[in-house]
Amino acid sequence: MPRSRDVVFPRRERVEDRRKDAGQRKLLDEFFDHGTLLAVSRLVTQGLFDVLDHPISQGKEGGVFRASKGTELRAVKIYRISNTMFRHLPPYALEELRREASARNYGGLIFAWTRREHTILGRLADAGVRVPVPYGHYRNVLVMEYIGNADGAAPRLKDVPIDAPAALYEELVREFGRMIRDAKLVHGDLSPYNTLYHEGRVVVIDVAQSVRTDHPQALGLLERDLTNFSRFLGRLGYDVEPAEFLRAVGGDRLVAPASEA
């Protein structure tokens, strides 16, 4: 088994990083505590990837790193072991997590959150929704398909110049429709900020807070998701009302709770 720090970066590259970019080393030290290093090492031993290449993105909850497996690129998402991420979760998502997980400490809940994202990604992929295909997970580390190419990761939809907003709308209708009708899931936090755009297709990410379409809040969450995209499309010059968007994806078939009906 390779030494745990050697699976993060090859030794020679790590020395060069210390010389060239102390900030990146600080970032790595923030993410790779002893437990996370052991988790990464285990996933390497299982053959999910060979080595981490460099960070792609980071946030308060965690970060995503590009990894290599032979000539293939993969993405590795690592959640920080802290209570920080739970401060940003809506109550319904935290309730769902506590219902599914037997653990009550932060570490156990984060492991359950990682497992939940892996499971939901698989469910969406099976339904034909364009998401990063999950390959495996352990503790707070998730390995999945890399969306991008050797030149860089795919950009967020909000950062992409869109020449044909009508075609984008049709693409969104297809993907969100599959999510609702086939996967029976509502994302709940969907916007151009957490949707990627790669090779003319939208790619849905950050899915762990998704709920089933029979969840009491599913319709309200879906309406909020689609309103976000209606506004985005409007800024691109393509006007579509949220109610029309809702009908197009089949969301009008969701039943509101009796108190809202």
Interior angle at CA 56, CA 52 and CA 58, nearest 5: 110
The closest of 178, 179, 186, 165 to 230, measured between CA atoms, is: 165
126: Cα within 13 Å, side-chain hemisphere: 9
Residue 126 to residue 138: CA distance in whole angstroms = 21
Is 189 designated active site? yes
H helices of the chain, where? 11-20, 22-31, 34-45, 91-100, 106-126, 165-177, 218-235, 242-249
| 17-39 residue pLDDT tens | 555 566 556 666 667 888 899 99
Contact 4, 40 (CB under 8 A): yes
Query: What three-state secondary structure class fits 203?
Result: strand
Bridge partner residues of 75 (DSSP): 66, 144
Q: Is 68 left (phi over 0), alpha (psi -120 to 50) or beta?
A: beta
Residue 15 confidence (pLDDT):
47
C-alpha dihedral, 48 to 51 to 57 to 61, nearest 10°: 60
| Per annotation, catalytic residue among 6, 29, 189, 252 | 189
pLDDT under 50 in the chain at which residues? 1, 12, 15, 258-261
Is 21 designated active site? no
The closest of 127, 123, 152 to 64, measured between CA atoms, is: 152
Domains of the chain from N-terminus onward: 4-149 (3.30.200.20), 154-253 (1.10.510.10)
In sequence order, which residues have a C-beta less than 8 Å from that of residue 196 and are 6 or more positions away? 147, 153, 154, 155, 156, 157, 202, 203, 205
pTM: 0.85
| Per annotation, catalytic residue among 33, 182, 206, 225 | 206
Residue 97 confidence (pLDDT):
75
C-alpha dihedral, 29 to 155 to 53 to 12, nearest 10°: -90
Residue 260 confidence (pLDDT):
46
Residue 5 confidence (pLDDT):
52
Bridge partner residues of 141 (DSSP): 78, 138
Residue 20 confidence (pLDDT):
53
For residue 167, the tally of other CB atoms under 10 A from its CB is: 12
Contact 255, 219 (CB under 8 A): yes
Interior angle at CA 140, CA 128 and CA 9, nearest 5: 100
Residue 49 confidence (pLDDT):
97
Residue 27 to residue 23: CA distance in whole angstroms = 6
